Structure 1
Amino acid sequence: MQPAMRNRWYSGFLTLLLLCFTVPAFAQPTAPQASAPGSLPVLADGASLDELNDQLDLIRQRVTGSANDDVLSTLRQAALQVQKQADDLATARGVSIEHLNDQLKVIGPPQPDEAASLSAQRQTLTSQSNALAADERQLTTLSQSARDLATQIVNLRRSQFNSQISARSTSPLSPSFWSSLIRPTDDDLRRLTSLGQDVENASEAVLAPGARGYFIGALVLAVVIWVGGRRLLERLLAWSMIRFLPEGRLRRSALALAVGLATLLTISGATTVLRWGVTYNTELSANVLNLIDQLTTLVIFCAFIVGLGRALLMLRRPSWRLAEIPDEIATALGPFPKILALALMIIGTQERINSVIASSLALTVAVNGLTALAVCVISLWALVRYHRTRHQFELERLTGVAALVPFVLGMWILVILLSLISGYLTLAYFLTVKLLWMSVVATTAYLLTACFGDLCETLLSPKEPGGRALASALSLSPRHQAQAATLLAGVGRTLLLFTALLIAFMPSGSSPSEILQGLTLLDLGNKPLGGLKVVPGDILLAIGFLIGGLFGIRVLKGWLSERLLPETNMDAGMRASLVTLVGYLGYVLLAIVVMSTLSISLTNLTWVVSALSVGIGFGLQAIVQNFISGLILLTERPVKVGDWVSLAGVEGDIRRINVRATEIQMSDRSTVIVPNSQFITQNVRNVTMGNALGVVGVSLTLPLDTDVLKIRELLLTAFAEHEAILDTPAPSVSFKDLTANGLIISASGYVNSPRSVSGARSDLLFTILGRLREMGVALSAPQSMMLISQGQGAGAVIPDPV
């Protein structure tokens, strides 16, 4: 047992030493590599029909239930490649057939007295067309077979994943879990010993006299790049930001992004130099090269974590920190990205070794559980440190989406811990990998969206020097320039967020290119409703699309109403109508997407439409009428949000136009719900449609002996002194009539809105009546009436009641 233990520790030490030799995936080794399991012959771009058939048969032979997920992923990519080339060949055959048919049309149908050469040419062209048509049919069948095979591989991968997730093993609380790590099986020890021997041979070859100098020089240069190069590059980038970028958010976001890239680039450069020093005039075994390739992804991922942590926290330049994180919390969380990267490097190395040697299932599951446990402990430690720092310095809680991050992270860690304790190690490992991957993607998306938005704002906004210079060069108006900046920033951020969501939620073992290639091959054809098969995964996906779509529509409507449309010259009513129409369109598209996810075709809903037509004829007629009327109001816009209307005794401001009814706010702040059809079928008085000004009128009945010139001067002075009365158009006073009751004089003035008429008229009446009293002028009283009753004497007077 002692030699086996010695070999195990020796192989582990040499493997950790080999970790220093890992490089990015684009560094090609000089030694030839052995073909990986599941690899296939490279298919040329112009492969023939027979070659495509042979490739597809080879793929079918490699697809087995014992193949791991990586092999199945490679085989699926190969099947999709066969499908693509078959489709391209079928398209080319179709073009050739059309060309031959055109030639046959030029020759025309057979004639009794035609030349023999013409008949021979027609026969040749017909034979070629028939052969190409047969090839086209075979290629179409081959393409469908390749597509079906890719679908079967996806289902096989899904079933394998479900079986692994649901498998239960020993918990980390059990001694058997740790015994699997400390005391591997004899088969695992034998494979570890073999790998250790390969690593030892690689080390001897690297340190041989012919290659030792190159390795030592490469090692020194790598250390210089890793340590000094990063600092020098960061200082150079900081100086460049201050020197060339204007002061503002762009400088901060660009520096944060540059810090992360500098960390990643220097580590990649150092490992590239090391790889050159190791592989120069040195032949490595297939296992060693495979281990290097496995560790490459781990090194880059850990470097990415450290770079993102430094870019997000910005401990050396707190004033340039992009996120609104207090200095105390940033300092408390500063060491955790490095701690997490170091833990992943140590435990992840053993994972890669297990992958290379094809270790037993017990050892693989135990190492995966150890990885999940380590990440959980580090994440929980960071959460406790965050809450303790916030309470110690009495810091306020984060606002917005950032406030949900600690809660979501805590709940996620709780689920992982429960899975570990209950023995579902594969499920815990899957959740841990998803947590790390989604955290990296979310942080990267935050930095990219912030930098892109700040770049658009700096280059295009009329408030920035760069935007003003661009406007001067291109003769752009500030309004159009602001619209372009807002629109470009919104579209760019949307595309970045969509890409981030696509990458964050992609299936395990898949790549972004595989997801995009699969989206282009989706079959959205019509399927009969009777043959509809809805699986739980489709239901969950449809629910996810529904929730995400509703949230996206809400964000889009908010962005339109608060960011883009205020930059235009549209009035408030037009903006509200446009936002409502966009919302309706978004809901319709979302419904189509959800039904397509559930494989529900619109043509299969004819029976639903038929059933609804009966109900529309009876109970739903009014609802449909109001809905159509609402669409007419939003498009034709006889009334819009903000108008003051009057109809059927209801008078007030339109606050909102909904699908079925319109909300009108009365003068007493109450709201009246009016069906939309009334605006179409009844007479509507729109006070603010053609005239935004209000008229304040005052009529006075004065005695016949009143000095009308003084009254005219009094009225003009009162109107001019009131703050709500506009100077243009100017107030006016007119002599309306001369009656037996007295003189009728009318005065009018304009206010900025009909809604201000009532208050302004009340103030003016108070002022005018007060000044008339001061002048000793009384309003004309109604005349008394003389009524002579037959039962009374002449001269009896009955006063007319006032």
Structure 2
Amino acid sequence: MRRVRQNRWGMGLLALLLCIALPAFAAPAPGPQSVARNQLPLLAEGASLEQLNDRLELIRQSVSASGNDDLLSDLRQAALQVQKQADSLIALRATDIERLDDQLKVLGPPLPDEAPSLTSQRQVLSAQKDALLDEERQANLLSQSGRDLAVQIINLRRSLFNSQISTRSASPLSPAFWSTLIRPTEDDLGRLNRLSDEVWTAFETALAPGNRGLFITTLVIAALIWVVGRRLLERLAIWSMIRWLPEGRLRRSALALTIGLATIVTINVSASLLRWGLVNSATLSADVLNLIGQWLTLLIFCSFIVGLGRAMLMLSRPSWRLPPIPDQIATALGPFPLILALALLLTAGEERINSVIASSLALTVAVNGLTALVTALIFFFALLRHRRTRRRFELERPSGIAGLLPFVVAVWVAVILLSLLSGYLSLAYFLTVKLLWISVVTTSAYLLIACFGDLCETLLSPKQPGGLALAAALGLSPRHQAQATTVLAGIGRTLLLFTAALLAFMPSGSSPGELLEGFAQLDVSGRSLGNLNIVPEDLLLAAAFLVGGMFAVRVLKRWLSERLLPETNMDAGMRASLVTLVGYIGFVLLAIVVMSTLRINLTNLTWVVSALSVGIGFGLQAIVQNFISGLILLTERPVKVGDWVSLAGVEGDIRRINVRATEIQMSDRSTVIVPNSQFISQNVRNVTMDNALGVVGITLTLPLETDVLQVRELLLQAYAEHEAILKAPATSVSFKDLTSNGLIISVSGYVGSPRSVSGARSDLLFTILGRLREVGIALSSPQNLMLISDSQDKAASEPPAANP
């Protein structure tokens, strides 16, 4: 019993040593060679229909006997390979059939007196065509079978994943969890023994006298590339950035991206060189080659963590740091990318060993839980150090997404730890993998988006030397060049964001290559959307599309209003109308996407349309009328945002045109909500339409003895001196009328906008009245006419009676 325990402890220690020793052997390869693929016979290019049928049948048998996700993934790839070769056969047979059809058309239809040779040739060609048609039909069936089998494997993998997620195991707080890791079963020990023997055999052959020189040489060169080559490459990159790139954001983003790529490339080149030296100097078994292939993916991922961490933090050159991270926080978080990468090499490396030896489910789940635990603790301590550093140096919390990011990561890590403590190790492992993957994809997307935007701004913007040179070479105007720069940068960033979102939220158990294959094979033919067959997964996906779509529409509207449209000749009203219309279109498309995600057939909405028609007939006429009127206002634009309108006693500036009503701001800063239908059905006075000028008119009534020429010069001079009065059209003074009250003289001048009339008229009245008083000219006072009766006249003429 003691010896068995010592063997178990020894196997656990050997597995740990394998995790440390084997990362250097990873190298680029087409993909990990799985056990299932090794068991399947090789399928040559241009295989016949019989070979493809046999291959597909073998895949079906392997699927029924397999319960491993990695094996199912390989079997799915094999089924897709059968489908592709069947599609190639279909294309070849279609070409052959078309050639035979041309030959039959040359022979023409059979004639009664034609030569026997022609009849025989026609029969031979017809028989060949029938045989090709039969092969084409069989190839179509085979292609469809391969596609259906791939879909079934996906569903099987999804079911397997769901069952593993909901399985509860021993938590890290229980001794059973650690007992499974420390003391594996006899079966697992035997498999580890076989793998360790194969690894030691590979080392012994590599260090043999005939192969020792090559292996040691590659080991030394790989170490030099890993350490010295990276530093030289980074220094060369810095020298190139300073020499060839202008000062600005492009230099910073290009340097950050280059440092990340230099770290990733040097690590992978070193690993490739080590693998090459080991393969050429040692005898490797299939399991060792499989382990090296699986370590490739892990090493590439870990190199991304280290490279992206160095690119984002930029500890060596803080002034060139791309994100706005304070120096204190960057220094505090500096060691964590390397710590995380090394921890993943140890823990996730054990997962690769379990995959190669096909270990028991208990050991696999326990190792996955250990990986989740170590990763969650590293993130926890990084967040804790970030918080302490921020409080210690009294740093302000960043606004926006940057300020929300630590909270999201903290919640995510808390869910992982709670899942571990409650025993749901597979769920915790899944959340850990998603956290790592989304972190890498998000950081990579941030660097690429920043570098692409800075590249467009530097090389194409008319404000930069590169953009000026390009405009001079192509004869572009600065306005058009600015518009092209904004559009190109927006399209590039959108594509990068879309790609990052697809990669970040890939379905579990799939790879980027499988995702691209799925898009390539996407069936865009018209099909029914189902009959309200809604499942909880569709509800969650529809909610995600709804939230993401609303955010995307909001970002698009902000980009149009703040970036693209200001570079055009559109006025503010047109820009606001266009942004509103784009928002409405975006929400309509989003509603269609959400309904498609929920598998809602549009024919099922017939009753909804019928109910709405009845409602419209009884009580929704006004709402629909205002909605249609709002669309007409946004498209025909009889009035637009910023216009000064007068409508049914309401006069003011249009501030916003909504889908139902329009907001008009009055002169007292109050807002009147006017239904859109009134702008269509009533007379509307648009004071500022077509850039109308304002007229400042003043009418004076002067005494009859006034010198009209002097008054005319005085009025013209007052208007000419006012800064708001335009020179053209010229100011005019008119003699309106001659009445018993006096002379009526009118003066009028133009200002740039009707909104300027009131203020200009007030200033001119103060000026004119002051100057009239200075020259002694008074305005005519109104004269009163008194009617006196005859009796009153006589009484007034008689003398008053004497008093007694």
Q: 1:17 to 1:379 in 2, by over 3 A?
A: closer
Structure 2 CA distance for aligned equivalents of residues 796 and 465 of structure 1: 99
Q: Which residue of 1 aligns with 2:801?
A: none
Secondary structure of the residue that 2:242 maps to in structure 1?
helix
Q: Which amino acid aligns with 1:24?
A: A
Q: Which residue of 2 aligns with 1:720?
A: 720
Structure 2 CA distance for aligned equivalents of residues 490 and 527 of structure 1: 33
Using the size of structure 2 for normalisation, the TM-score is 0.93
Structure 1 CA distance for aligned equivalents of residues 102 and 792 of structure 2: 120
Q: Is the 8 A contact 1:11 1:193 kept in 2?
A: no
Q: 1:435 to 1:10 in 2, by over 3 A?
A: closer
Q: Which residue of 1 aligns with 2:710?
A: 710
Q: Which residue of 2 aligns with 1:494?
A: 494
Q: Which residue of 1 aligns with 2:338?
A: 338
Note the C-alpha offset of 1:587.
1.8
State which drifts further: 456-465 or 47-56: 47-56
Gaps of at least 5 residues in structure 1 are 798-802
Secondary structure of the residue that 2:792 maps to in structure 1?
coil
Q: 1:179 to 1:586 in 2, by over 3 A?
A: same
Q: Which aligned pairs between 1:303-452 and structure 2 lie closer than 5 A?
A: 303-452=303-452
Deviations 1:316-356 (A, max 9, x none): 10000000011111111111111111111122222222111
RMSD between aligned alpha carbons?
A: 2.6
Q: 1:156 to 1:632 in 2, by over 3 A?
A: same
Q: Is the 8 A contact 2:256 2:312 kept in 1?
A: yes
Structure 2 CA distance for aligned equivalents of residues 788 and 266 of structure 1: 117
Note the C-alpha offset of 1:113.
5.3
Q: Is the 8 A contact 1:11 1:197 kept in 2?
A: no
State which drifts further: 619-628 or 701-710: 619-628
User: 2:586 matched to 1:586?
Assistant: yes
Q: Which amino acid aligns with 1:625?
A: Q
Structure 2 CA distance for aligned equivalents of residues 651 and 125 of structure 1: 85
Deviations 1:363-399 (A, max 9, x none): 2111111111111111111111111111111111111
Structure 2 CA distance for aligned equivalents of residues 517 and 28 of structure 1: 16
Note the C-alpha offset of 1:122.
5.2
Secondary structure of the residue that 2:184 maps to in structure 1?
coil
Q: Which residue of 2 aligns with 1:233?
A: 233
Q: Which residue of 1 aligns with 2:568?
A: 568
Note the C-alpha offset of 1:197.
1.3
Structure 1 CA distance for aligned equivalents of residues 580 and 612 of structure 2: 25
Q: Is the 8 A contact 1:38 1:74 kept in 2?
A: no
Q: Which residue of 2 aligns with 1:12?
A: 15
Q: 1:573 to 1:99 in 2, by over 3 A?
A: farther
User: 2:25 matched to 1:22?
Assistant: yes
User: 2:470 matched to 1:470?
Assistant: yes
Q: Which residue of 1 aligns with 2:536?
A: 536
Secondary structure of the residue that 1:280 maps to in structure 2?
helix
Note the C-alpha offset of 1:237.
0.3
Q: 1:35 to 1:409 in 2, by over 3 A?
A: closer
Structure 1 CA distance for aligned equivalents of residues 115 and 751 of structure 2: 95
State which drifts further: 38-47 or 434-443: 38-47
Q: Which amino acid aligns with 2:422?
A: S
Q: Which residue of 2 aligns with 1:614?
A: 614
Deviations 1:152-208 (A, max 9, x none): 211111111111111111111112211111122222222222211111111111110
Q: 1:138 to 1:608 in 2, by over 3 A?
A: farther
Q: Which residue of 2 aligns with 1:214?
A: 214
Q: Which residue of 2 aligns with 1:547?
A: 547
Q: Is the 8 A contact 2:9 2:182 kept in 1?
A: no
Deviations 1:64-91 (A, max 9, x none): 2643111112222233333344445445
Q: Which residue of 2 aligns with 1:742?
A: 742
Note the C-alpha offset of 1:105.
6.3
Q: Which residue of 1 aligns with 2:757?
A: 757
Q: Which aligned pairs between 1:17-416 and structure 2 lie closer than 5 A?
A: 18-26=21-29, 36-37=36-37, 40-44=40-44, 46-64=46-64, 66-90=66-90, 93=93, 119-120=119-120, 123-124=123-124, 126-416=126-416
Q: Which residue of 2 aligns with 1:789?
A: 789
Structure 2 CA distance for aligned equivalents of residues 502 and 556 of structure 1: 19
Q: Which amino acid aligns with 2:453?
A: G
Q: Which residue of 2 aligns with 1:800?
A: none
Note the C-alpha offset of 1:121.
5.4
Q: 1:722 to 1:177 in 2, by over 3 A?
A: same
Note the C-alpha offset of 1:728.
3.8
Q: Is the 8 A contact 1:205 1:282 kept in 2?
A: yes
State which drifts further: 364-373 or 413-422: 364-373
Q: Is the 8 A contact 1:14 1:196 kept in 2?
A: no
Structure 2 CA distance for aligned equivalents of residues 202 and 166 of structure 1: 40
Secondary structure of the residue that 2:359 maps to in structure 1?
coil
Structure 2 CA distance for aligned equivalents of residues 654 and 275 of structure 1: 71
Q: Is the 8 A contact 1:734 1:745 kept in 2?
A: yes
Q: Is the 8 A contact 2:241 2:251 kept in 1?
A: yes
Aligned residues: 794
Q: Which residue of 2 aligns with 1:668?
A: 668
Structure 2 CA distance for aligned equivalents of residues 36 and 573 of structure 1: 65
Q: 1:285 to 1:97 in 2, by over 3 A?
A: closer
Q: 1:794 to 1:553 in 2, by over 3 A?
A: farther
Q: Which amino acid aligns with 1:761?
A: R
Note the C-alpha offset of 1:466.
0.6
State which drifts further: 33-42 or 638-647: 33-42
Structure 1 CA distance for aligned equivalents of residues 566 and 729 of structure 2: 29
Note the C-alpha offset of 1:271.
1.5
State which drifts further: 556-565 or 749-758: 749-758
State which drifts further: 532-541 or 251-260: 532-541
Q: Which residue of 2 aligns with 1:479?
A: 479
Secondary structure of the residue that 2:793 maps to in structure 1?
coil
State which drifts further: 9-18 or 339-348: 9-18
Note the C-alpha offset of 1:129.
4.7
Deviations 1:450-470 (A, max 9, x none): 000000011100011111111
Using the size of structure 1 for normalisation, the TM-score is 0.93
Q: Is the 8 A contact 1:376 1:416 kept in 2?
A: yes
Q: Is the 8 A contact 1:315 1:330 kept in 2?
A: yes
Q: Which amino acid aligns with 2:463?
A: K
Deviations 1:9-59 (A, max 9, x none): 663365246325323323999xxx896557644545544443333332222
Q: Which amino acid aligns with 1:789?
A: S
Secondary structure of the residue that 2:745 maps to in structure 1?
strand
Note the C-alpha offset of 1:425.
0.8
Q: Which amino acid aligns with 2:21?
A: L
Q: 1:571 to 1:697 in 2, by over 3 A?
A: same
Q: Is the 8 A contact 1:486 1:563 kept in 2?
A: yes
Q: Which amino acid aligns with 1:451?
A: C
Q: 1:447 to 1:39 in 2, by over 3 A?
A: farther
Secondary structure of the residue that 1:641 maps to in structure 2?
coil
Q: Which amino acid aligns with 2:687?
A: V
